[in-house]
Amino acid sequence: MAQKNLALVTGANGHLGNNLVRLLIEKGIPVRASVRNIKNQESFAGLNCEVVQADITDKQSLANALQDVDVFYAVGASFKLWANNPKKEIYDVNLSGAKNMIEAAAEAGVKRIVYVSSIAALDYSRLPTKESYGYNSDRRDMYYNSKNDGEKLAFELAKKRNIELVAVLPSAMIGSEAFAPLNVSYNIIHLILKKQIPVETNITLNWIDVKDVAEGCYLAATKGRDGERYILANEKCMSIKETTKIAQELFPELNIKLPAAVPKPILLTIAWLMETGSRVTGKAPLLTTKDIKMFSGLQQNFDISKSRTELGFIPRNPVQVVKEAMEYLIKNRNKIY
């Protein structure tokens, strides 16, 4: 017999997906968790949920996973800022994923979708930015392009197929349960602790506890208005230098140095050398010239009054969130790296 109020979470072994699965179970909601590789079940140890195989690039696998589902948390996506072939490995995956997820949900009779977009899909020409300002017009990054175009496509298809869809736009998620490999955001905290960020880039991040984002996803499912988008972030961003200062205070024994300020031309040269090395190794560079050009000096500050008012979203203090994330990584270093 079909379970009532069944929720499907895609990308359920990822950082947000896994924490969302845990939150829904705590709330007594029956959960079906989907993963690309069914053998990858370490993150579900001791959790009372059904684990199934599904891939966002395979519509039939999604249709199978969505049978009898009431609420679909569309978390699964390619979350990386670098690839050898970014159009194919990031943009095409996320666009076809958005299309497959909405169409499979429509065919399975799903009533409501919480679509996980990103703060990448916001317009930063006026700060603090908010949902109503529209989409990001900076087209230099394939991940950013995929989140902007993917969200627009999801809304368009959901309207056409008569499914309720609410989009949530999280910022840099850290903290709580994490499994290797760490996501892009959490990895920056990891690099700070390992003293691997030697130069000041003037890049800021808007840190948010992944548990707050999971709660925001649930609030969007229960209170979010169809066709609306909600930012799940803190109001103010924090530079990597400020984040490093927290690590210094927390772990004086690690003797972490603040990143050194260097002129922008030198910074671009360093990034270019790293990119060149990555073409040989196939591993993501620590820094790219595009990162410097797009993000150096960009203030990721948000007006989150819509999420606060309509959803009851109350994010925790980012300084506390950073401290807890650092403590988690140090405590779980054997599990994660």
- Specify the pLDDT at position 335: 75
Helix, strand, coil percentages in the chain from 3-state DSSP, rounded to 5: 45, 15, 40
Residue 326 lies in a domain: no
pTM of the model: 0.96
Helices and strands in the chain, H and E counts: 13, 13
The predicted structure's pLDDT at residue 133: 97
pLDDT at 337: 59
Residue 272 domain-assigned (yes or no):
no
Give CA–CA dist 211/266, Å, rounded.
Answer: 38
Block residue for tokens 């709580």: 176
Distance CA 56, CA 39 (A): 17
Mean pLDDT of 188-212: 95
**Of 201 and 3, the one with more pLDDT:** 201
Percent of the chain, pLDDT > 90?
A: 88
Report d(CA 314, CA 157) in Å as an integer.
Answer: 30
End-to-end CA gap in the chain: 42
Per-residue pLDDT at 2: 58
- pLDDT surpassing 90 at residue 216: yes
Structural domain contains residue 322: no
**pLDDT at 198 (0 to 100):** 85
- pLDDT band at 294, cuts 50/70/90? very high
CA distance 220 to 222: 6
Q: What sign for the dihedral angle of Cα 317, 143, 93, 182?
A: negative
CATH code, 146: 3.40.50.720
* Phi-psi group of 327: left, alpha or beta (phi > 0 → left; psi -120 to 50 → alpha; rest → beta): alpha
pLDDT of residue 1 exceeding 60: no
Is residue 73 within 8 Å of residue 232, measured between CB atoms? no
- The model's pLDDT over 172-197, given as tens digits with 9 standing for 90+, comes to 999 988 988 888 899 999 999 999 99
Tell whether 227 is covered by a domain: yes
**Structural domain of 70:** 7-179+206-236+300-317
- The answer to whether position 214 is within a domain reads yes
Looking at the domain assignment, is residue 217 inside a domain?
A: yes
Helical spans, DSSP H, in 174-239: 184-193, 210-223
The tally of domains found in the chain comes to 1
Residue 1 in any domain: the answer is no
| Per-residue pLDDT tens digits for 19-47 | 999 999 999 999 999 999 999 889 999 99
- Helix segments in the chain, DSSP class H: 15-26, 59-65, 86, 92-108, 142-160, 184-193, 210-223, 240-250, 264-281, 289-295, 305-306, 318-331, 333-336
Q: Does the structure show a pLDDT above 80 at 126?
A: yes
- Cα–Cα nearest to 51, from 94, 16, 15, 21: 21
Q: Residue 107 domain-assigned?
A: yes
Predicted pLDDT of residue 80: 85
Residue 279 C-alpha from the chain's centroid: 25
Residue 58 has pLDDT above 60, yes or no: yes
